[in-house]
């Protein structure tokens, strides 16, 4: 006879395996995109014609203007 605890453990294991199987393609795509970005190198700096009245911090790596208070760039995810 199967106890409720054993049945619960079996169901949780199956659900975890299904979630892992669904996550693998997404994780693989994230890794591929990261490799492509590394091969391409840093993005060219943003055009200097942007107005200076925009409140924010310019990323030193990719040139994206981020809102004030951000610690990491929203485009390249590097520390500002």
Number of domains, the chain: 2
Res 9 pLDDT > 60: yes
DSSP letter (8 states) at residue 73: -
Q: Clarify whether residues 26 and 8 are in a common domain.
A: yes
pLDDT higher than threshold 50 for residue 38: yes
Residue 31: give the domain boundaries.
1-41
- Of 40-44, 51-55, 60-64, least confident by mean pLDDT is 51-55
- Indicate if the pLDDT at residue 27 is higher than 90: yes
CB 72 within 8 A of CB 79: yes
Shared domain for 49 and 77, answered yes or no, is yes
Residues 36 and 4 in one domain: yes
- Asked if 29 and 58 sit in the same domain, the reply is no
Per-residue pLDDT, 25: 93
Same domain membership, residue 30 and residue 51: no
In this structure, are 63 and 52 located in the same domain? Answer: yes
């Amino acid at each position: 006879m199967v106890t409720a605890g054993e049945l619960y453990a079996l169901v949780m294991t199956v659900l975890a395996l299904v979630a892992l199987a669904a996550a693998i393609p997404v994780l693989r795509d994230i890794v591929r995109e990261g490799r492509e970005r590394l091969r391409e190198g840093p993005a060219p700096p943003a055009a200097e014609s942007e107005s200076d009245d925009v409140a924010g911090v310019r990323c030193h790596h990719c040139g994206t203007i981020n809102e004030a208070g951000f610690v990491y760039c929203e485009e390249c995810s590097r520390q500002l």
